[in-house]
């Protein structure tokens, strides 16, 4: 009897030891890191490094904790100032949040040594630092995806995806409507096969409601490409994330503190078998209960169960299975390729009802993916001489151009003679629908017009200087500026432009494309294009936005002349206010006059006298910066006896946009 009691005691101790080992497991697993090499390095023992160390030491402390797991601090001044943002998952306790961020601060400096900008993602928290402000706008790169290796039953894929889409859309609205301290939501929905889908979504709380929605829409749009048919997935970008599984992985309800963080950890590679973590947790609980009951029944059964538990543990170590695999954001052109039938269904077989417009290189259609994401699809003409491999390479390069003031290229489809480009859908159409329409123009007061001018300038500066490519747009005009629902401008068709190699300053082409009234004279007459020819386009656009009139065939009293010649004439007369749109509600008269001045500087006939986009952005942002006097612009119609044969604003070669890809 004593031996039996001893065996029972040993087994019970082993069972409780197993439970204790689970309870003291690592609370959060390292998931992903990104070291932004393009942002440069800091030198050892520099002021920047000292500021970074100070900031990371200070960030995850109770003094800076608002109770919602969001930290935002900066330290230092000028070029040595460091900004940091920490965000914890919405269901964890403050203490556990700080512990996770402390681990991140130590790891991030080790895995990204000397980097001025870096990102580290743990299972329960995310930490970023940079030499620039990280707040106020959604950032969707870099992105990272993980998926559960198990597939949904083939007969249930569509129904499963429909249920998932409904669940995620509801969580998106709930998270986006959260306050400035937390934008987080979690919930579940029934799935076919008597299963349940559990999901959570989160945005950094500095985003507005619409910005959060936009960020999550982009993340949702990656699900069909990376994780189609999978029972679980997680997609992370700096400003938002989504995760869903067929087992409960978060603490519920949302505002309850987690009783044991280890129950919500992402599965680690050395403790996995063919089941999901939720199933394994249930199995272990059931085995413990059986063992305890068996202890009270018979010592033989207790010993047998103990042996089985130990054998199972050993087997798990040998048969550990990796069911989550990373997916890089863009590894190859194939990762951007959509099936033609997917696009065909999304656009309702390219129906006329979904047609948004027609350009020289094809029609544009609105479409919608099954997950609810709206897209714009450009169906290119079938007479392109470009090869398939060249087409794919160009798409991959353009897809890597990402800026808040550029329309994002999501991917492409290439089957037989069909070539499709898939873009994000922008709600408010193009600028020309507003600025040249007397009814819509009234809605554009000066503040909105000034915001559009500044946004286009920043987007063009990114193409010229800040992107991984050097892009010359060649067809910047009002119809190629799209406006989102907040009237933020996005440059479209930038993928149809020329890209330069590093340090190349000018190119030449025999195939002139673009729109008269916008093109620089050196491009029209000699085929020369450069960043300064884009600046010329931008100058014309500024003057059109201020006046509400097209550059071509501008009529004022007895004069029939282009807008540039008219602006130059009244500038010399000292009466530039005459060209300001009378329908516009003016905010700052000095800003309006400054924009007219910048517009004239940008359209000067002498290329060398035109400012760069970097200089223009500085001019727009600093009223104290003195501007040089402009010289004569390159205008096309001096008066009604010298009008050009191309005075209606039509495009050369009957194209309203530039060629689909660089030739």
What single DSSP character describes residue 430?
Answer: B
With tokens 């915001």, the residue in question is 451
The C-alpha atoms of residue 215 and residue 202 are separated, in whole angstroms, by: 10
Q: Are 312 and 288 in contact (CB under 8 A)?
A: no
Residues 6+ positions from 528 with CB-CB distance below 8 Å: 506, 507, 508, 522
Number of CB atoms found within 10 A of residue 260's CB: 14
591 is catalytic: no
CA angle 468/472/475 to nearest 5° reads 135
Query: Which residue out of 475, 493, 534, 581 is catalytically annotated?
Result: 475
The C-alpha atoms of residue 402 and residue 150 are separated, in whole angstroms, by: 32
In Å, how far are 219, 232, 359, 468 from 201, measured between CA atoms? 10, 14, 38, 31
Q: Are 89 and 200 in contact (CB under 8 A)?
A: yes
Element (H, E) at 294: helix 277-297
Residue-wise burial string across 473-506, b where 16 or more C-beta atoms lie within 10 A, e elsewhere: bbbbbbbbbbbbeebbbbbbbbbbbbbbeeeeee
The C-alpha atoms of residue 602 and residue 659 are separated, in whole angstroms, by: 24
The C-alpha atoms of residue 215 and residue 321 are separated, in whole angstroms, by: 32
Tokens of 578: 């005459």
Q: Are 166 and 199 in contact (CB under 8 A)?
A: no
CA angle 523/525/527 to nearest 5° reads 45
Which residues, in sequence order, are bridge partners of residue 436? none
Tokens of 441: 């123009």
The C-alpha atoms of residue 612 and residue 599 are separated, in whole angstroms, by: 12
Backbone dihedral angles phi then psi of residue 140, each to the nearest 5 degrees: -115, 5
In Å, how far are 190, 335, 415 from 344, measured between CA atoms? 29, 19, 12
Closest CA relative to residue 362, chosen from 373, 347, 372, 374: 347
The C-alpha atoms of residue 597 and residue 628 are separated, in whole angstroms, by: 9
The C-alpha atoms of residue 157 and residue 141 are separated, in whole angstroms, by: 29
Q: What is the CA radius of gyration of the chain?
A: 30
- Catalytic residue list: 475
């Amino acid at each position: 009897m004593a031996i039996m009691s001893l065996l029972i005691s040993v087994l019970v101790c082993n069972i409780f030891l197993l439970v204790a080992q689970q309870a003291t497991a690592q609370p959060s697993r390292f998931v992903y890191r990104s070291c932004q090499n393009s942002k440069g390095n800091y030198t050892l023992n520099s002021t920047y490094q000292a500021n970074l160390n100070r900031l990371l030491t200070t960030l995850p402390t109770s003094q800076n904790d608002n109770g919602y797991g969001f930290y935002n601090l900066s330290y230092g001044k000028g070029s040595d100032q460091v900004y940091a943002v920490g965000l914890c998952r919405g269901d964890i306790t403050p203490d556990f949040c700080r512990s996770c961020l402390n681990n991140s601060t130590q790891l991030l400096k080790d895995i990204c040594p000397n980097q001025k900008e870096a990102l580290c993602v743990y299972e329960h928290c995310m930490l970023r630092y940079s030499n620039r402000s990280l707040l106020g706008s959604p950032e969707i790169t870099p992105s990272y995806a993980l998926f559960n290796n198990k597939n949904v039953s083939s007969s249930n894929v569509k129904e499963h995806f429909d249920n998932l889409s409904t669940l995620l859309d509801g969580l998106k609205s709930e998270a986006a409507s959260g306050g400035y301290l937390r934008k987080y939501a979690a919930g579940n929905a029934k799935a076919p096969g008597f299963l349940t889908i559990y999901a959570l979504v989160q945005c950094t709380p500095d985003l507005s409601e619409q910005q959060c929605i936009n960020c999550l829409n982009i993340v949702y749009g990656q699900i069909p490409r990376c994780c189609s048919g999978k029972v679980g997935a997680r997609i992370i970008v700096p400003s938002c994330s989504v995760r869903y599984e067929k087992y409960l992985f978060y603490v519920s309800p949302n505002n309850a503190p987690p009783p044991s963080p280890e129950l919500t950890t992402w599965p680690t590679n050395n403790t996995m078998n063919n089941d999901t973590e939720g199933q394994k947790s249930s199995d272990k609980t059931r085995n413990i209960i059986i063992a305890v009951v068996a202890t009270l029944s018979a010592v033989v059964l207790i010993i047998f169960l103990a042996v089985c538990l130990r054998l199972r543990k050993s087997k798990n170590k040998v048969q550990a299975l990796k069911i989550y695999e990373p997916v890089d954001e863009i590894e190859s052109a194939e990762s951007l390729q959509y099936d033609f039938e997917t696009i065909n269904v999304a656009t309702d077989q390219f129906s006329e009802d979904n047609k948004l417009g027609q350009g020289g290189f094809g029609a544009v259609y609105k479409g919608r993916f099954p997950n609810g994401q709206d897209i714009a699809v450009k169906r290119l003409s079938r007479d392109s001489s470009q090869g398939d491999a060249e087409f794919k390479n160009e798409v991959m390069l353009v897809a890597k151009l990402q800026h808040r003031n550029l329309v994002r290229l999501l991917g492409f489809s290439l089957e037989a003679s069909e070539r499709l480009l898939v873009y994000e859908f922008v709600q408010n159409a193009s600028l020309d629908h507003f600025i040249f329409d007397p009814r819509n123009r009234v809605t554009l007061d000066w503040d909105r017009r000034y915001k559009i001018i500044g946004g286009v300038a920043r987007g063009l500066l990114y193409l010229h200087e800040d992107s991984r490519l050097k892009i010359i747009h060649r067809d910047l005009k009002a119809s190629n500026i799209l406006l989102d629902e907040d009237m933020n401008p996005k440059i479209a068709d930038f993928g149809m432009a020329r890209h330069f190699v590093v340090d190349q300053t000018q190119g030449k082409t025999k195939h002139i494309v673009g729109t008269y009234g916008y093109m620089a004279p050196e491009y029209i007459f000699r085929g020369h294009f450069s960043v300064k020819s884009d600046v010329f386009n931008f100058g014309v656009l500024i003057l059109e936005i201020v006046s509400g009139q097209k550059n071509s065939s501008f009529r004022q009293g007895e004069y029939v002349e282009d807008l540039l010649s008219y602006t130059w004439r009244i500038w010399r007369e000292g009466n530039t206010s005459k060209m300001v749109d009378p329908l516009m509600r003016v905010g700052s008269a000095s800003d309006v006059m400054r924009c007219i001045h910048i517009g004239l500087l940008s359209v000067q006939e002498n290329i060398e006298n035109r400012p760069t986009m970097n200089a223009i952005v500085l001019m727009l942002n600093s009223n104290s910066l003195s501007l040089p006097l402009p010289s004569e612009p390159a205008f096309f119609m001096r008066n009604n006896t010298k009008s050009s044969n191309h005075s209606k604003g039509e495009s050369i070669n009957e194209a309203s946009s530039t060629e689909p890809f660089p030739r």
